[in-house]
Amino acid sequence: MSTVPSDSPQHVPPRDLQPPATGTIIQGWIEALKRSDRQMFILMAVEAWSIAKTMDDIFPGFWHRFMTNRRQAMQQFPQHKQQLDSLGKNPVCDSFQDE
């Protein structure tokens, strides 16, 4: 009885039946995660716009006040973050330590 080594070309499955390389699988997961992340941010932007639009229909001028407050908050954010950094505080980590 003759035995054929397992690495013989006769026993290699066709290329489309072979599992992809590990790097290819990981790269596919990374791409899927990036697409999902982009879609989530687009959905969040649409939700924020729809809420603001609805509020503007109910309370005229809401959108203008919302954008003014947002602009001020975006200008204050770096200053607030710098203050926390200078105090050695991280609001995310500190909130977990309280639990």
Identify the pLDDT of residue 88.
77
Residues 77 and 51 in one domain: no
Q: Residues 1-43: pLDDT tens digits? A: 445 455 555 665 566 665 656 778 888 889 999 999 999 999 9
What's 22's DSSP letter?
Answer: H
- List of residues 6+ apart from 52 with CB closer than 8 A: 62, 63, 66
Phi first, then psi: give them for residue 20, nearest 5 degrees: -65, 160
Structure tokens that stand for 69 in this block: 């407050």
Structurally, the chain folds into a number of domains equal to: 2
pTM for this model (two decimals): 0.44
Is 18 a domain residue?
Answer: no
- Classify residue 67: in a domain, yes or no: yes
Angstrom distance (rounded) from CA 81 to CA 74? 11
What is the full DSSP assignment across 28-39? HHHHHHHHHHHH
* Residue 81, pLDDT above cutoff 90: no
pLDDT, the chain, mean: 79
Give a yes or no: residue 1 inside a domain.
no
In a domain, 91, yes or no: yes
